Structure formats: C-alpha cells, structure tokens
Structure 1
Amino acid sequence: MKASWEKTEKNRGVLTVETDEQTVAKALDQAFKKVVKKVNVPGFRKGKVPRAIFERYYGVESLYQDALDILLPEAYEAAVKETGIEPVDRPEIDIEQLEKGKSLIFKATVTVKPEVTLGEYKGLEVPEKDFSVSAEDVDAELKKMQKQQGQLESVEDGAVQQGDRVIIDFEGFTDGKPFEGGKAEKYTLEVGSGTFIPGFEDQLIGMTPGQEKDVEVTFPEEYHAEELAGKPAVFKVKLHEIKRLNLPELDDEFAQDVSEFDTLDELKADIEKKLQEKANKEKESYVRNQLVEMAADNAEVDIPEVMVDHEVEHMLRQFEQQLAYQGLNLDLYAQFTGQDVDALKDQFKADAEKKVRANLVLEAIAKAENVEVTEEEIEQEIKQMAEQMNREPGEVRRLLEAQGALESVKEQLLVKKTIDLLVLSSKNAA
C-alpha cells in the first residue's frame, strides 16, 4: 500500500491511498462469497453459482460496493498510521480507480488536529482571590441547618408573608379568555421562590385564608409559549391555606440535636472548619483552571469548527443525562424554559471552544515537557476507583477495558500531571 498526505488548508488536506491488485482481488472474492448467497441464477442452487457465471449475469461491477466496504476502513486506517496524521472528523472519500485486475486508488479529504504554537506557560501568576471564610458564611450555613430542622405549621389567623407555603386555586386569562396550562387547584407554592411569573408571588403577600383576588401580571417577552410572550394576563386566585416554617432556637440544644457537639460554639467551629476545607479545594481548582486558561490564551491555535461541534454534542449528551436524573428530557426542558436544542447548542458553543482549545494546548505542553503516564500510575488510579466503587481493582480494570475506557483514564491522568507541572512552575507555588 502507498499513502501520501498533502495539506491544502490550515487543518485540511488530501490523503491519497493506493492498494495493490492482490488486495483488491481478495476483497472482490470476499464480496462474491457474501453476495452469491442472495442471488438466483437459473440452473443453480442459491449460493452455488460459479464466479464466472455470476459475473456474466450481473457484471463484476455489482461486487464493487461490497468490496469497497471491505477495503476502505482497513486501507484508510493504515494510511492514517503511515502518514502520521490525526483526523478529527470523518473523511470525504473520492474513488479514483476500482477495477478488476487493478489497484484501488482513492483520495480522502481529511480535517486534522491543528498545530499548536505554545506561548508562555511557565512562571505564570494567577491573580489573588479571597477564599477566606467569614462569620457571615458560618451564620448562613447555620441558618440552612436551622431551616432544615424547621416544622411547617398552618397559620390559622394571619396573612401571607414572604417565605410562606400557600395552597391556592388559580386560573389565568388573557384578553378575557382562559389559556391552556393556566389553571390548577390546591397548588402548593412557596412565596418568594420565583417559581411563577414575575410579580405573581409578590401580590399574594397580605392575603388571608378564604380570600379571592385578581393578580395582574405580564408574561416575559422570552416566555416559552409564543402565544403568551409579552402579553398581560389576569389570574383569579383563591387562597386556601397558609403554612409557615417554625424554626428552632439556635442554642446548645439545637447543636446537640443536629450534631455530635454539646454546644453551639463547637458546632460553629466545626462548620467553619468544613467551610474552610471546601474553600481550600475551591482555591486549588481556581488556580489550576486559571493557569490552564492563561496558558491557552498565550498559545496560537486555529481550531477546526468540527472539533467545537463535536464538543458541543458531547456537552449536550451530558446535559441530557443530568435532566434524566431529574426525571426530565430535552422536550420538557424546552417547554419550561423556552430553550430548544439549537438554543442550547448556541449556549454551549463558547465553553466548548474554550475546552477544546485548553485540551489542545495541554496536549502540546505534555509533548514539549515529555510528560508521560506510567503503568503504575494507571494501576494506582484504578485502585482508587475500585475503593470508591467498593470493587476489586481487577474487576474495575476489566470493566474499563470492556467499555474501551482505559485510554480515557490514561488521558485524564496525563492532563492532571500536565496541570500539576503548570502549578509547580507558577509564581503561585512559591
């Protein structure tokens, strides 16, 4: 086999491949064995037609497509390996020659991974950012715990306040007519949660059980239902019940109920410790992310659009998985938010381009610095994964191999080691 690569644009070129006549003949034989089982020729049982008779009836050309299906994947893969290119998308194939007794010649127009010209990536300095834990942070966390321990109680004599849960009937009207999806009975709503149209929840404040009221609002211009977007509406609301969160006192008894500590001061100290541990991890992530971003900004790379598109698709699949965990799908999400798949893709595009750029630059730094991942490091990573999954390391390794994910583990370790290098060489490490 002969293969040659000619660059025609920044990240595109033509791969010319020629296989020998014997390889073509072998592929035609395989194609014939596949096709002959399906054809009918008078005087012969199915699958028993001699090759010469078959070609007389159907022509050797009838075997070409099946022969190509056999030839192309292997020939293309071998040519890619021989020329050392790194395709990032499916090739555009143009067959120049395919005849019995001759070689196969084809050209593949290919988009390849771009070259990266590295800028400064050592000795970088990340701007300082405050990750200290304040008394207000501790109090906010304590109030979350207090709210979690609160008990909802019905308010028999009183009016709706911010933060109350209310049980209401409502029906919405535009131009004096009810609209689809605008009616519910015995609906529970937390006032101030921002669940409903802006202005709706605020107008419930001050209502008392049994009271009815017309709530006037205007749908947002970007509302997902086009027929309602920007239109004024009136909701007829009836309040059935008010429920209010009765919060426990923040004292030593509270601390004993929610923790292993005897006093509130001890609980606060523990909260501060945990918040600081979290803040330290956030600071570490901040420094690492900033160094990668700075190194990427300092580099020169012309990213093929197809690489960004692939990353957008990957991000969309991840988002779908997140929605599935919440019992949602993209169609329901679009109904709730007014964002369809195309809008989501547009939203993901900037982050996708940033991520692709960072990955290309980190890969280039790893090559420049001869960063490698050892088998021992892979084994240690698998061991840690096994501990988290409560499985044996050998079992996890077999699972990764079966899923074709072992290479991904290696790539992630390579990225981590490369970022470690950026951190150690940065001014922030001093």
Structure 2
Amino acid sequence: MKAVLEKKESNKVSFTIEIPEVDFEKATQEAYIKNRSRFNIPGFRKGKVPRKIIELNYGPEFFYEEAINLILPEAYNNAVEELKLEPVDQPEVDIDEIEKGKPIVVKIEVVVKPEVNIGDYKSIEIEKIEYNVTDDNITEELKSVQEMNGRIIDVEDRAVTTGDILNIDYKGFVGEEQFQGGTAEAQELEIGSGRFIPGFEEQLVGKNKGEEVDVVVTFPEEYHAEELKGKEAIFKVKINEIKEKELPELDDEFAKDVSEFDTLEEYKNDIKEKLEKEFKEKEEVENENNLIEKVIESCEVDIPEAMIDTQLQNELSDFDYRMRTQGINLEQYLQITNSTIDSLKEQLRPMAAQRVKGDLVLEAIAKAENITVTEEDIDKELEKMADSYKQENKEKFIEDMRKGDLSFLETAITNQKVIELLKSIVKFK
C-alpha cells in the first residue's frame, strides 16, 4: 500500500492511500466469508451460496463496503505512520470509485497535531512568590483549633447574637400561599453563617427563646427555583433553642489537650514549623504555575477545535468526579446553580484550551531540548504509584501496569523533566 501526501494547510492534512487490487480482492473474499451465512438462495444450502452467485443476484459491488471497512483501518494507520502524522480527530474518507482490476484510491482528510512556534523561554524573568509565617498566621491556626474544641452550651438569659446556634421551626409563604420546600422543624442555624436567604438571619438577632418572628425576605433573581425568583416571602419562625459555643482558654492545659506538647509555647513553635513547610510547598506550586504560564505566553500555536473538545470532555469528567466527592452529582449541581451542561462547558472551555496549549508547548520544548524518558524513569514512577496506592506486592503491581499503555506516564514524566529544566533556566526575581 502506498501513501502520498497531497497538501497540508494549517492543521489539516490531505493524503491518498493506494490499495493494490490483489489486497482489496482478499478483503472482498473475507467480507463474503464473514457474511455468506445470511443468504438463502434457492438451490443452495444456507451459508453455502457461492460468492459469484451472490454477486450475480445483488451486484458485483455488494461486498465492497464491508471490504473497505476491513482493509482501511490498517491501511490508514500504516499511512499515518509512513507520513509521520499525528491525527487528533476522526478522518474524513472519500472513495471516488472502485473499478475491478485496478488499485483502490482512497482520499483522506484529517486534522493533525499543530506545530508550536517556541518563544524565547530562556530569557523569561518571573517575580518570585514568597510566603512568610507571621504571628497572625499562628494565631489564626490556634483559633481554628480552639473553635474545633469548643463545646456547645444552652443560652437562657439573653437574646440572640451573631455566632449563636439556633434551633428553629419555620414555614414560608408567598402571599397567602405556603410554598414547597419552605417548611422545616428543629432546623439548626448558625447566625452569621449566610446559609439562608440574605436578610433572614439578621432578623433573628435580638430575639429570645420561645419567641415567634415574622421574617420578611426577597428571593434573589438568580435563585434556583424559577417560581420564587425575585419574590417577596414571609417566614413564620419559632425560636426553640439558643446555643453558643464556649471556647477553651489558650493556655498550657489547652496545648496538652490538643497536642503532644506540654506548653502553649511549644505548641506554637510546632504550628510555625508546619506552616513554614506548608507555605514552602505553596510557594513552589505557585511559582511553578506562573513559570509555565509565562512560557506558554511566549509560544504561539493554533490549536484545533477537536483537541479542545476532547480536553473539554476530560475537564467535564474531572468536574463531575469532584462534585461526587462532595456528595452531589453533575445533574444536581446544574439544578442547584440553575445552569445547563452547555453553560458549564463554556465555563470550562478556556481552561481546556489552556491545558491543551500547555501540553503542546511542553512537548515542543522537550523535543527542542532532547528530553527523553528512560525505562529507569518509568520504573521509579511506578514504584511511587505502588507506594501511594499502598500495594503490598509492589513487583506484581509494576508488572501488571507494564502490560498496559503507559503513554500517560511517559507524558507526565516528560512534562516534569521540562518543568525542572525551565526552573533551572528561567530567572526568578
């Protein structure tokens, strides 16, 4: 089989594949054998009708389409390899005509991976991000632990203030009609949390236990329930209980209770060390992200829509997975946010385009810098994966992984090598 490149414009390539008549005849015979059991022609047992008889009854081209489907995938793959192309979408196939005794000429048009015009990434300068642990950071961390270790106590002798935790019953009305989903009993609500409709919580401040309150609010225009958008509503609220969180004193006893240290000072020092480590990791991530962003900006590439669409599906799957880890599925998220799958795709599209461009740029720099991935690199990464997945039989895990497609791992290793190289080249101010 012979492949000839006809033209290459932007990211679209046209080429022809010439399939020898003898190869096409073999594929036609294979198509006949595959389908002959379907035919029932008088004078012949089912499945035993000669190919010639079938072609006399249905036409000589009867098996051609099946033959093309059998032979074309391999011919296409061989042509792509021969012409050193990297398709990123399904090809458009055109066969003008098939004439017996002549080679079959197939015309192919397909979108391929674009070329990257690499910028002068070696002269890039980036302002270095640094985070320093302050006394306020330590105090904030202490307060967080203090909050977690607070105890809830009943309030009997005062009115509601911000921060109190109420137990309430309520019924919601629009006009004289009680609306669906606007009723609850023994509902817990922290005043100031912002969980309820704007203006709801503020109207309970200053009220007392056992008091019944008419809370008047207006639903936001972007509210998820169509029938309530922009409507004024009255909630008849009864305050059953008022509770507050009593916080422990920040002293040595507190340190003993919440940590392995005997004094508050030792505990503060430990918090500082952990925050310094956390801030250092944050610095590295943000500096690395800024570095990649600057390098991407310095390069030019015309990204095919097909590549963005493919990445967009990946982004959508990742988003769905993140939502599920938070206890809701994609359909519920769309309902809560009053959005559609199309609007979500538009929201994710710039991220998908940037991700594709980033991968293309890193790949181009890897080629320019002759960065390669060795078997040793792959083994090290597989060992890390085995450890992270807590595999008892590490050797068996690595052996099983090596039986599959590890191109994703090679790409990840290559990209990391490129990033490490860039970090050593680029100037951080």
Q: Secondary structure at the match of 2:144?
A: helix
Structure 1 ranges of 4+ moved more than 4 A: none
For the residues of structure 1 that align with 2:184 and 2:99, how far apart are their CA atoms?
Answer: 72
Give the residue type in structure 2 aligned to 1:188.
E
Q: Which residue of 2 aligns with 1:221?
A: 221
**Alignment-mate amino acid for residue 78 of structure 1:** N
Q: What is the TM-score normalised by the length of structure 1?
A: 0.94
The Cα of 1:235 is off from its aligned counterpart by: 1.9
Contact 2:128 2:287 in 1 (8 A): no
Query: Aligned runs of 1:29-68 on 2, under 5 Å?
Result: 29-68=29-68
SS in 2 for 1:194: coil
1:328-339 alignment to 2 at 5 Å?
A: 328-339=328-339
- Per the alignment, residue 167 of structure 2 pairs with 167
Report Cα offsets for 1:68-116 as digits up to 9, x if no partner. Answer: 2212221211111111111111112222233544433222221111111
Counterpart amino acid of residue 369 in structure 2: E
Unmatched segments (≥5 aa) in structure 2: none
Match of 2:115 in 1: 115
Where 2:239 maps in the other structure, the secondary structure is: strand
Secondary structure of the 1:23 match is helix
Q: Which amino acid aligns with 1:296?
A: I
After the TM superposition, which of the residue ranges 259-268 and 52-61 deviates more from structure 2?
52-61
Question: 2: CA distance between counterparts of 1:102 and 1:156?
Answer: 98
Equivalent AA in structure 2 for residue 274 of structure 1: K
Alignment correspondent of 1:131: 131
The equivalent of 2:387 in structure 1 is 387
Query: Which amino acid is 1:189 matched to?
Result: L
Within a 5 Å distance, the mapping from 1:194-209 to structure 2 comes to 194-209=194-209
Q: Aligned runs of 1:158-307 on 2, under 5 Å? A: 158-307=158-307
What is the alpha-carbon distance in structure 2 between the residues aligned to residue 101 and residue 343 of structure 1? 54
Spell out the pairing of 1:311-326 with structure 2 (5 A cutoff). Answer: 311-326=311-326
**TM-superposed deviation, 1:8:** 5.1
Q: Which segment is superposed worse, 343-352 or 198-207?
A: 198-207
Q: Secondary structure at the match of 1:240?
A: strand
Change (3 A) 1:71 1:281: same
Separation of aligned partners in 2, 1:203 and 1:24: 82
Q: 1:229 to 1:60 in 2, by over 3 A?
A: farther
CA contact (8 A) 1:214 1:237 kept: yes
Q: Could you tell me how far 1:403 is from its partner in structure 2?
A: 5.1
- 2:129–2:287 CA contact under 8 A, matched in 1: no
Distance between the aligned counterparts of 1:14 and 1:236, measured in 2?
Answer: 71
Aligned length: 428
More divergent stretch after superposition (17-26 vs 204-213): 204-213
Indicate conservation of the 8 Å contact 1:97/1:103, yes or no: no
Higher mean C-alpha displacement, 141-150 vs 60-69? 60-69
1:397 maps to which residue? 398
Letter in 2 for 1:149: N
CA distance in 2 between counterparts of 1:92 and 1:10 reads 16
Contact 1:224 1:334 in 2 (8 A): no
**Distance in 2 (alpha carbons) for counterparts of 1:80 and 1:98:** 22
Change (3 A) 1:165 1:7: farther
Task: Compare 112-121 and 200-209 and name the one that shifted more.
Answer: 200-209
| Mapping of residues 355-366 of structure 1, within 5 Å | 355-366=355-366
Instruction: Check whether the contact 1:95–1:105 (CA below 8 A) recurs between aligned residues.
Output: yes
Q: Larger deviation: 376-385 or 120-129?
A: 120-129
SS of the aligned residue for 1:36 comes to helix
- The amino acid across from 1:311 in the alignment is Q
The whole-number CA distance in structure 2 between the counterparts of 1:318 and 1:62 is: 46
- Distance in 2 (alpha carbons) for counterparts of 1:400 and 1:199: 56
Identity %: 47
Moved more, 319-328 or 266-275: 319-328
